[in-house]
Chain A
Amino acid sequence: MNAFLQQLRISLKLHYRNKMALIYSYLFPLIFLLAFWVLYRHETVTLARHMGELLTVSVLGGACFGLPTTMVSERERGVWRRYRLTPVPTAALVASTAAARYCILITAGLLQLGLALALGMPLPKHPVDLFIVFTFVSFAFIGLGLVMAMMADNVPAVQALGQCIFLPMLIIGGIAVPLASLPDWALHVSAFFPGRYAVEALQACVIGPGLGAARFDLLALLIIGAGGCVAGAKMFRWDAQQRFAARSGKGWVTVALLSWGVVGVMSEYQGRMLATRPADSPKQAQPSPVSTPALPAASTAPAAARAPEPPPPAPVTLSAAERKALQPDAGRKPVTRTPAPTPPEEAPPARTPPPITTVASWQAVTTADIDRDLVFDRLPSDGGIVTPIAPDDEEPDPDTADHLQYIREMLPSWQPGRVADPVQRVRNILYVAALPDVLQMPVERFAPQVVYERLQQDIPKDQLIRILYWIALHPTEGDDKALDELWALHFPNGPVDVEQTRERSAIYAVKLLGRILGKLPRRPS
């Protein structure tokens, strides 16, 4: 035990004395986070939605590059050969090296999380669960790092091997590119990569329902980590010149690969690779989306309030009344009316607020209310990245067209789209446009047209106008159980940022209202 602790202590000390190692393990993840934040800062809770990916990249880099680089360079120098002359068991040395790496990963993760919080990300919903999942993710990738350390004969070989794993996992493994954006074949492949399970499990703890929804992911990470550790132990080499005693030595790498295969087959068997739930057991197979609209006030505040230059496009499209409606409490009591069509921060400071009036129900909405409370000329562009809508004459690619056709056919019978309450019904159908936008799915630009068609078929025009106004001003009202049912339309399940989905629904409501009233062109500018 003393040897384990001493080796752990020295490993950490040496790591903190190595400037390059510090840059790689701590600075790069922060730069990655900052770059992400700078690029997408107009989205209010982007960091929260992508924290799983950001943390996974940090762990992947630290465990699959940092760990094997350290081990291989020490082995090349003969440090491990010298250790072999001592009576300390191999397992103790390897375990202490892995434990040191875990300490480095967890501190890097905490730093990354801390910076994200400082940039305005809400607190993770399940911090303890997040710690547990992070440990599982670290275990899986440290196992992989051990295998790489044993496979590589020298440090350049580590870099080559690392790239072979890192890049595919980033691109088709569900880390850098959202799974929803991948073609089917890539989704099948991603099921065999640990990155997918790492992202899903971490994300479930940041904004999702927590550990309970990530049981399969944890099992997958455990299997992959165990496979890597067993293979790494069996392939262990003390000496840079030492070749594997027998061909079977290198053959142990198949154990690690087998663990990936087992996980992938299990995922395929359960139909997880396409991110859809089996119809017979939907709740077991996929994590349920968050069902409560109550979010911390900081995250529900408009992004414009925190991002001064330039004004973010999405929130500024909402009127002051809409903004007020986004506040958690505002949605639960009669909404105050305000005629100010521009965001509060843009209103002249000396302006006197008009008399406050309220609309008692959606049935009482009048054209005057709409004209007074909604603006249509500052909505996000249909050609932009927030609430996009494809032009009528744009043809989707075949896969997207198939999915759209499926949505079009299923929507009339989709249960949440048939609820008795017309407001809730419209709200539910608008989610069909809003969720692909939030998840940046391939259908995001085309789904709104299908939704608009459906709403105009299903709801009488005068009612629809009033309901859309009502939803625009009351985005946090109603329930969001429909998000749990979107799997039936072949939408991915998993953690969903409910607040953002509601916000996007409100914007789509305004856009449709503008089209119905002739205040917006049918095609995007």
Chain B
Amino acid sequence: MAKVIVRELHKRYGDVLAAQGVSFQIEDGEIFGLLGPNGSGKTTTLECVVGLRQPDAGEIEVCGMDARRRPQAVKEKIGAVLQTIALQDKITPREAVSLFASFYRDTASPAQLLQRFALAEKSDVPFDTLSGGQRQRLAVALAFVNNPELVFLDEPTTGLDPQSRRELHADIAQMKRDGHTVLLTTHHIDEAELLCDRIAIIERGRIIASGPPRSLIAESTAVQSVSLTTARPLEHGWLERLPGVEDLVCDDVTVRFRTAIVSRTVAALMQVLDEHGIELTNLQVRKATLEDVFIALTGDGLPH
């Protein structure tokens, strides 16, 4: 059963079309990623789904309910972590969790939540004394205060240090094991590849590709990367003439290039080496990554 169905979502801010016919579906228990650069429309899409913004057009169904007609009922079923962690400076994690628990009918134990998200020791200190990672864990704890069926995470690891980021990845993976459905927006390709069962790549308010990361890579026309090391330097001209070679970089005995016809290029390369008596010491052929797929689809690099 689909937990979220979005059909032909449109949202405009003045002259800017933030969402232009966005459609996707999230199945029960899966982690779905919206991947795209800043300003691509992924946050607008998420905020329309959770009820923070009113779309100009389109249908949104969440947990079997029309989210535009029954926003309050939908909010009972969902939890969300927004990009900015917004709480009063002097509120403590325990107070925040208790306060948000009072907003829902079905709630988790505040003490257990604080324990689960490693905030028990910090439960009575003011919010403004918490580290970035602790604040983000508190935001996640607040999203889980109502035992949500569906969790929305809007770029949850942005601004976190590597350690906090790894911990949050573990939390998100645990959400899936616990049976939660998750919608994750991110511009970190590795994060999407690591965590998501399915992703949708969104650019300029449109979804330009969607599916499991491996399928997207497999279906991609992206070229593969080849790097090699030889015992003696190769001449640039020999390599330029190889079939399918692109983006050639020759640095003494180290060579890198990309090719869409890897078998023919490597066969020709072996022939050149044999003709000139040059020994090959290392050869690596790397498959396309999600980043390669994204670049191939959008023609843009991702922001970091």
Contacts and interface: CB of A to CB of B under 8 A. Distances in A.
A79 B90 contact: no
Contacts of B78: 85
Interface string B73-88: 1011010101010111
Contact of B90 (A3, A18, A86, A87): A18
Contact of A2 (B72, B73, B102): B102
Nearest to B101: A6
B267 to A, nearest CB: 58
Interface string B33-52: 00000000000000000111
Given A2-B102, A14-B91, A79-B86, 19 more contacts: A6-B99, A17-B90, A17-B126, A74-B88, A77-B87, A77-B88, A78-B82, A78-B84, A78-B86, A79-B88, A84-B52, A85-B51, A85-B82, A86-B103, A87-B72, A87-B75, A87-B104, A89-B72, A239-B52
Contacts, number: 60
A70 to B, nearest CB: 9
Contacts of B210: none
B99 A85 contact: no
A67 to B, nearest CB: 15
Contacts of B117: none
A85 B50 contact: yes
A250 interface: no
B98 interface: yes
Contacts of B80: 85
A476 interface: no
B100 interface: yes
A81 interface: yes
B102 A6 contact: yes
B52 A87 contact: no
B59 interface: no
Nearest to B88: A14
Interface in A68-121: 74, 77-79, 81-89
Contacts of A85: 50-52, 75, 78, 80, 82
A10 B104 contact: no
Complex A-B, nearest 7 residue pairs according to Cβ-Cβ distance, in ascending order: A78-B86, A6-B102, A86-B103, A87-B75, A17-B90, A88-B103, A87-B72
26 contacts: A3-B102, A5-B102, A6-B98, A7-B102, A10-B95, A10-B99, A13-B95, A17-B126, A18-B90, A74-B88, A78-B86, A79-B86, A79-B87, A79-B88, A81-B86, A82-B87, A83-B103, A85-B52, A85-B75, A85-B78, A85-B80, A85-B82, A86-B103, A87-B76, A87-B104, A239-B52
Nearest to B145: A86
A238 B53 CA distance: 11
A87 B90 CA distance: 24
Contacts of B126: 17
Contacts of A78: 82, 84, 86
A85 to B, nearest CB: 5
Nearest to B74: A87
Contacts of A14: 88, 90-91
A77 B103 CA distance: 20
A239 B53 CA distance: 10
Nearest to A73: B88
Nearest to A4: B102
Contacts of B102: 2-3, 5-7
Contacts of A7: 99, 102
A238 B86 CA distance: 12
Nearest to B152: A85
B52 A81 contact: yes
Contacts of A17: 90, 126
A66 to B, nearest CB: 15
Interface in B62-119: 72-73, 75-76, 78, 80, 82, 84, 86-88, 90-91, 95, 98-100, 102-104
A88 B105 CA distance: 10
Interface string A166-188: 00000000000000000000000
Contact of B103 (A13, A18, A87, A238): A87
A13 B90 CA distance: 9
A87 B103 CA distance: 7
A403 to B, nearest CB: 55
Interface string B103-143: 11000000000000000000000100000000000000010
A82 B78 CA distance: 13
B75 A82 contact: no
A14 B48 CA distance: 31
A77 B86 contact: yes
Contacts of A18: 90
Nearest to A79: B86
A275 B88 CA distance: 47
Contacts of B142: 82
Contacts of A10: 91, 95, 99
Contacts of B95: 10, 13
Contacts of B82: 78, 81-82, 85
A79 B100 CA distance: 12
Contacts of A82: 82, 86-87, 142
Interface string A1-37: 0110111001001100110000000000000000000
Nearest to B79: A85
Nearest to B95: A10
A18 to B, nearest CB: 7
A87 to B, nearest CB: 4
A509 B53 CA distance: 75
A5 B99 CA distance: 9
A197 B50 CA distance: 45
From A5, A78, A238, residue with most partner B Cβ within 10 Å: A78
B93 to A, nearest CB: 13
Given A10-B95, A13-B95, A14-B91, A86 B100 contact: yes
B150 to A, nearest CB: 12
Contacts of A83: 103
Contacts of A6: 98-99, 102
A237 to B, nearest CB: 13
Contacts of A13: 95
A81 B73 CA distance: 18
Contacts of A81: 52, 82, 86
A86 B80 CA distance: 9
Interface string A230-266: 0000000011000000000000000000000000000
B136 to A, nearest CB: 14
B75 A86 contact: yes
A510 B102 CA distance: 70
A238 to B, nearest CB: 8
Contacts of A5: 102
A18 B100 CA distance: 21
Contacts of A86: 75, 100, 103-104
Nearest to B84: A78
A88 B145 CA distance: 14
A102 B139 CA distance: 30
Contacts of B100: 86
A87 B100 CA distance: 10
Nearest to A2: B102
A86 B104 CA distance: 7
A74 B91 CA distance: 12
